[in-house]
Amino acid sequence: MKKITIGIFSFLLFTLTAIAQNGNSIYATMDAEDAASFKTLYPNDVQILKTENNQSAVFISEEVAHHIHDNVQTHGPGYIFKASEEKALSALNQLQRRPSVLDYSITEDAFVNECLDLVDSQNIEDNILLLQAYGTRYHTKPQAEQAVMDQQAKWDAWILASGRTDIHTRIYNHVNTPMPSVILTIDGANTPDEFVIIGGHIDSTSQGDKNDAPGADDNASGISSLNEMVRVLLAKNFVPNRTIEVMAFAAEEQGLVGSAEIAEEYADNGVNVAAYVQFDMTGYKGSSRDIYITTDYYNSSTLNDYLFALMDHYNANGAHNFRYATTECGYGCSDHASWAANGYDAAFPFEAAMSQDNPNIHSSNDLYSFFNTPDHATKFTKLGLEFLIEAAKPETLSVNDFSEKAITVYVKDKSLNYRLNNKVSDVTAIAIYNVAGQRIYSEKVNNENGSLQLQQFAKGFYIAQFALENGHTLTKKFILN
């Protein structure tokens, strides 16, 4: 959030007095200076519970929170929603940064450049227009949930077409919003317990009428950049060493509600997130440079330096050339703040220098026609691909090649026989999928070779997935005659 100017202060003092004082209230954390300013503006509806480490835990009128979000020019809500007073107070304790497993190396030039060449700007434009067409994706509206379910269906269709069984999606239902989030996971081949995550929020908001919140730039553009990354990785049959997750979050505009619940759960469960990068508003080129890396205190300077190094390496010249700079976004600026608040390395590349970004966000005028080109969002897709490939690192063999070399499978008398060629781990489970990608059978085992009776299945094409004790997953196509 930008610091409140005298003009904005006077404007809010006038308008906030007209808001009813008997609405619901929410717990949140805010920048301490902003909390003090809002307390002065509206003393009866802002209670500062405690201030520590330059941030405050507050109990604030929901109506005031909405009004501040709608009328103060800022990218994000400027606060982080907390489900209780206890959570708000505990959030003031600065978490020690979790150690990252990344070596921040750049080694995959050939594969990265092949992927960059496949990026298609038309796909990004089509996806922005598709999300805009919902009319609103405000978190309490039915269109918001539908957008999430349609996003999952898009990913599922791509996965099915790829024939991959190491990629899957799931819906994440939230406690503090009726809108779900959706997560795509590409299982890591060698170190699946190490996660490289990218994401952006799929909800939208608008001043006044929440039924008219097209959100073309905020954040259909970011989701569309993410989708093109996924499409390219599937087209290149990318198998990462580390697990990759792509997240479309609910209710960012209400105080990072969706991402906060997910990041907290990951932290509570000890999930090893190597790095998180946010893609929120990639469509509008409002500044002289192309990509602006935010440098707020809670962002990881090491991860930022890695993004700089990637752009220096891949985008300094040539067909994929673009330029970058830095900016500051403010407290609770976007979903990366949720991951940083839980001790994970987080970064946020943004579309412009702050205050030069799209002036139509949070309004009915946030339409694709305002920027009318996918070229800017394309640059973020390329940065995202560079980051994912270099941070997760590719398995040296493709899915099919790896399966061919690691395991032998043959069918005889409707019996599926298998044998690991180089024993490094036992098979712990076998799943059978039909041609539609539906799992039709699964069985737990504990051996390096064996057989599976399939007399109950009709003739046809199937896929066997073998889960290994070391976390690796192998797939093999076969035909029952």
Mean pLDDT for all residues in the chain: 87
Catalytic position from the list 34, 187, 218, 390: 218
Q: What is 290-320 written as a DSSP string?
A: SEEEE--TTS-HHHHHHHHHHHHHHSSSSTT
Q: What is the length of the chain?
A: 481
What does the pLDDT look like over 331-347, one tens digit per residue? 888 999 999 999 999 99
User: Of the candidates 39, 51, 41, which has an alpha carbon nearest to the alpha carbon of residue 6?
Assistant: 41
- Asked if the peptide bond before residue 219 counts as cis, ω within 30 degrees of 0, the response is yes
Phi then psi for residue 291, to 5 deg, are -120, 130
Is 69 catalytic? The answer is no
Domains of the chain, by residue range, sit at 6-90, 109-392, 399-480
CA atoms of 174 and 232, how far apart (whole Å): 30
Residue 398, pLDDT score: 42
Q: Which of 71-75, 114-118, 361-365, 410-414 has the least mean pLDDT?
A: 71-75
26: β partners: 60
CATH architecture entry for 399-480: Sandwich (2.60)
What does the pLDDT look like over 302-316, one tens digit per residue? 999 999 999 999 999
Residue with tokens 């399939």: 454
CA atoms of 122 and 466, how far apart (whole Å): 37
- Are 327 and 304 within 8 A, CB to CB? no
Q: Which of 167-171, 215-219, 428-432, 471-475 has the least mean pLDDT?
A: 471-475
Residue 436, pLDDT score: 59
Catalytic position from the list 217, 253, 345, 390: 253
Residue 466 parent element (H or E): strand 460-468
- Are 71 and 361 within 8 A, CB to CB? no
Q: Which of 97-106, 115-124, 229-238, 262-271 has the least mean pLDDT?
A: 97-106
Catalytic position from the list 67, 75, 174, 201: 201
Catalytic position from the list 31, 34, 245, 280: 280
SS3 state at 163: coil
Catalytic position from the list 203, 228, 252, 351: 252
Tell me the pLDDT band of 328, cut-offs 50, 70 and 90.
Answer: very high
Q: Angle at Cα 117 formed by Cα 113 and Cα 118, nearest 5°? A: 120
Residue 245, pLDDT score: 98
Is 469 catalytic? The answer is no
Residue 47 parent element (H or E): strand 46-52
Is 336 catalytic? The answer is no
Beta strands in 174-327 (DSSP E): 181-186, 191-201, 242-249, 272-278, 291-294, 324-327
Residue 421, pLDDT score: 73
In this structure, what DSSP letter does residue 342 have?
Answer: T
* Spacing of C-alpha 465 from chain mean position: 27
pTM of the model: 0.77
Is 218 catalytic? The answer is yes
Catalytic position from the list 139, 174, 336, 362: 362
3-state helix, strand, coil in the chain (%, to 5): 35, 25, 40
- Are 382 and 313 within 8 A, CB to CB? no
CATH topology of domain 109-392: Aminopeptidase (3.40.630)
- Are 211 and 141 within 8 A, CB to CB? yes
Residue 424, pLDDT score: 58
